[in-house]
Structure 1
Amino acid sequence: MSSSRYELFQKALADARLEKGLTQSEVATRLRKPQSYVSKYESGERRLDVIEFLEVCEAMSVSPNSILKKTQPAS
């Protein structure tokens, strides 16, 4: 279950970025990280810790709750 839930998390982050009209490079610049940082957490190659997640949300001007709500498996 945690694996599929993390996939929902990855998708929610990528979808939020796209909905804001941001590229991976733009988010990375806001985070002062290389573009590969964004690519890796969106693809699942790298996991985010809680603080990193909050920083990503701030960089995209997205509510952390809006992302977390999308990680709930459909019941």
Structure 2
Amino acid sequence: MKPSSYSPQYDSLRTWMKQKREESGLSLRAVAEIVDRHHSVVGKMEQDRRKIELMEFIAYCQAIGADPHEGLDILLCSPKGSR
């Protein structure tokens, strides 16, 4: 099984994450402070430079007021993500 963290589905998820963060009006540093991580960690999650851990993803979504189910649907509903 190939690692999936750099798949097109994850690209779509990262795009969604950044869009939702920007819509919330929060900077990377503000989100990082809320989730108690360094801002570079949050930035790397959005920039395809770090694996997105599930609990970090949920905390990120809570920090920006986004529904994590919406983000997971991106992974589950994409054509290449189906089995």
TM superposition score category, shorter chain reference: 0.7 to 0.9
Match of 2:36 in 1: 32
**Distance (whole Å) between structure 2 residues aligned to residue 28 and residue 43 of structure 1:** 15
Which moves more between the two structures, 11-20 or 56-65? 56-65
Shift, 1:53, TM fit: 0.9
Give aligned pairs, total.
73
Show structure 1 runs of 5+ residues with no match: none
Shift, 1:70, TM fit: 3.8
TM-score, reference length from structure 2: 0.78
Structure having greater relative contact order (Cα 8 Å, sep ≥ 6): 1
* Identity fraction in percent: 27
The residue identity in structure 1 corresponding to 2:72 is L
**Distance (whole Å) between structure 1 residues aligned to residue 28 and residue 15 of structure 2:** 14
1:1-75 equivalent positions in 2, closer than 5 A: 2=4, 3-71=7-75, 72-73=77-78
Shift, 1:48, TM fit: 1.3
**Distance (whole Å) between structure 1 residues aligned to residue 72 and residue 16 of structure 2:** 8
Show structure 2 runs of 5+ residues with no match: none
Shift, 1:64, TM fit: 0.5
**Distance (whole Å) between structure 1 residues aligned to residue 40 and residue 54 of structure 2:** 19
